[in-house]
Every structure is written in C-alpha cells, then in structure tokens.
Structure 1
Amino acid sequence: MRKIDAQQAGPERVDGRRERGRSSHKRIVEAMMELIVAGDLSPSAARVAEEAGIGLRTVFRHFDDMDALYAVITATITEQVMPVVMAPYPDQPWRANVRELVRRRVRVFETTLPFRLAANIKRYQSPFLMGQYSRVVMLERELILRLLPGPILADRIAVEALCAALSFHTWRTLRHDQSLPAEDAGTVMGQMVEAILATIAEDA
C-alpha cells in the first residue's frame, strides 16, 4: 500500500514543481513589466526578483539573461497590440484610412511607450532588441505604404514625411521629450499628418 502511495505522490510532486515554476515565471514577467510601467526603464535582475518576491537565483533559473526576459515581454506586448495593428481597413478613400492609421498609432504607441523606451536603452548592447527594433520600424513603414495609392508612392517626399510624422520617434518626442499628455500628442500627430495630406493634390 505504501508503494502505491509513493508512486502516486511522485507525479503529484512533479506537478507541484511545475506549477510553482509556472507561477514564478509569470511573477517574474509581471514584475519586470510593472517596474517598467512605473518608470524604472532598466531594472536589474535583483530589482525584478525583489518586486516578484522571489530569490535572485530563481530569476536566472527561468531566464538565462535579461534578453530572454525581454523576449517574453516583447511577445506579451505584441500579442496585445497586433489585433489593432493588423485589423483590416474599411473600404473607403485612402486619406480616410491614413486618418484611421493615426488613431491606431496613438493607441499602440501609448500602450507600448514605456517598453519601447526601456528597449531603446538596451538595444545597442542586445542583438535581440536591435533586431526587434529593425523589424518593428520596417513593419510600421510597410503599413503606411500599403495605404497609399501608386501616384502618392511615387512622391518620395510625401511618403517620407508621412513615415516621419507617424513614427514612434515622433510619439516619443511628443510624450517623453516634450512631456505632452497623450491626448495632446495625438492631436499634434494628427495635425502633422493633415498638413502633409494638404500638400497632396485632391485627385491623387
């Protein structure tokens, strides 16, 4: 009877360890994200461990280095914002879709602002973050180009102006460097885009 009990207890102990492991993993990720949102854009592993209420060794047992932790956070944030980023546009004039893109960028940029600020601090020392930065910039540009008709795509200056106005760099400048509230920053970004659209012939 005791043998049976021991055999049954074995899987239970394994399941218990797995559950504790999943719990620690989740607490580490949540702690890192909470610290970044609170303004600590470059938290140390020790600070993450303290916030999560676990030992420093546990952090390194789950994540070999901070890049691994940033990779999980990136995946978490991407899952949040991609439905907004990739949602189809209505069948309407391209200018209306560009204005819709402004509204989407405001939502996505504001959601990701603290995490992209944190990643920017580390990306010159991190191949993962540098690669992620390049991929995101290319995607953001491609999403603008998809909305523009052929004649506009041929207007290099107009295209580059729209890409600059709708870039995260512009949002970061408005929100972080100029300390504008999100609503005001969104209004400024919208006005910048409207000024560019006004230079493009109405029949384009």
Structure 2
Amino acid sequence: MAGSNQGISIDGRRQRGERTRLAIIDAALSLQEEGILVPTAQQISDRAGVLIRSFFRHFDDMETLFKAADDQLRDSYEALFIGGDRQGSLKERVNRAVERRSAAFEQLKNVVLGTKAQLWRYETLRTNYARNQRGLRKDLEVWLPELQDLTEVDCESIHASASFEMWHRLRSEQGLSLEASRTVVISLLMALLTSD
C-alpha cells in the first residue's frame, strides 16, 4: 500500500513539474507578445508565478528555454503559414498568399522581433530562424511555382518582398495600414512575376 502511495506522490510531482515548465514557457511567450521582446529569467519567473530557482530547475539557461518553446510551438506556428487555397490564377494565388503570410506576421510580430534581437547570442535561435526562413521560401514556391522560371535576381526580389522584414517595414517604419501594406506587397510581387 505504501508503495502505491509513493507512486502517486512521484506522479503528482511530475505533473506539477510539467505544469510549472509549461507555465514558464507560456510566460516567456506572453511577455514577448506584449512587447517585452527580451524578457529576463526573473521577469518570466514572476509572470509564471514561480521562484527564480524553479526557472533554473527546469531550464539550464535561456537557450534551453528557447529550445523547449520551439519544440512545443513549432507546429502551431507553422500552421499559420501552411494551407489555404493554392489554386486559381496568379493574381488570386498572390492575393491569398500575401493575406495568409501577413496575418501570420501580424500574430507573430513580437516573437519574431524578440528572436531577431537575440540571434547574435544563441545558437538555438540562429538554427531555428534559419530553418523557418527555409520553410517560408519553400512555402512561397508552392504558392507560386512560377518562381522556378524566373531569373535569380527576380526570384530573390520576390522572396525579399514577401518577407517579414518587408512587412514589418511597411507596418512600423512606413506606418501603413494592414490593407495598404498588403496592397504594396501584392503590387511588388505581381510586377516581378509578370515582368518580361
């Protein structure tokens, strides 16, 4: 009987530990989404409602936290980009691709900015960011198979025009609305895709 109680106790500790671990990951992401692009371990612990030593019991350092967050959220983040109706005319596909990507960029803006702000510091972030960039390129090539017939310069220009960096510039630096930004990106893509 005592052995079964001990098993329940260990299982309860594991469950509490997993809840704490997930609360720390959620806290880090919610801080970034609110605009604290590079939250500290203390800020994350405070938000999660745990002591700083609990943070470091679950994560050796910030890099292990980033890896755990990526492992947990990669599928849901990638799902924001994949899918959608990829049939129809070039204009229809460009419109839908820009609409889908821009919606994802809007949702992930602060997470992307937080990641970019720390690329110099963490190998995990550099690896994840490079993987995500390759995924975005491949995804755009599925939307627009016409890319394979273009010159390298035009193809790279399209990838640059459809990038988060372009989107962020239009929205933040140039202060354009969501709709105006989409119009600019669609116009750039169509001009490049239909030039002789």
- What TM-score results when the alignment is normalised by the length of structure 2? 0.87
Structure 2 match to 1:92: 88
Shift of the 127–111 alpha-carbon distance from structure 1 to 2, 3 Å rule, reads same
1:193 corresponds, among 173, 183, 186, to: 186
Q: Which moved more, 1:169-178 or 1:108-117?
A: 169-178
- Per the TM alignment, residue 53 of structure 1 is displaced from its structure 2 partner at its CA by 1.2
Q: State how 1:2-151 maps to structure 2 within 5 Å.
A: 4=1, 6-87=2-83, 89-150=85-146
Asked which structure has the greater CA Rg, the reply is 1
Paired AA for residue 60 in structure 2? D
Q: State how 1:148-159 maps to structure 2 within 5 Å.
A: 148-150=144-146, 153-159=149-155
d(CA) in 2 for partners of 1:136 and 1:117?
14
Secondary structure of the corresponding residue to residue 123 of structure 1:
coil
Secondary structure of the corresponding residue to residue 143 of structure 2:
coil
- Per the TM alignment, residue 119 of structure 1 is displaced from its structure 2 partner at its CA by 0.7
Instruction: Indicate the percent of aligned positions where both proteins have the same amino acid.
Output: 24
Structure 2 residues without counterparts, runs of 5 or longer = none
Aligned length: 196
Structure 1 residues without counterparts, runs of 5 or longer = none
CA RMSD in angstroms comes to 2.3
Shift of the 175–78 alpha-carbon distance from structure 1 to 2, 3 Å rule, reads farther
Q: Which moved more, 1:45-54 or 1:189-198?
A: 189-198
Shift of the 7–199 alpha-carbon distance from structure 1 to 2, 3 Å rule, reads closer
d(CA) in 1 for partners of 2:124 and 2:179?
30
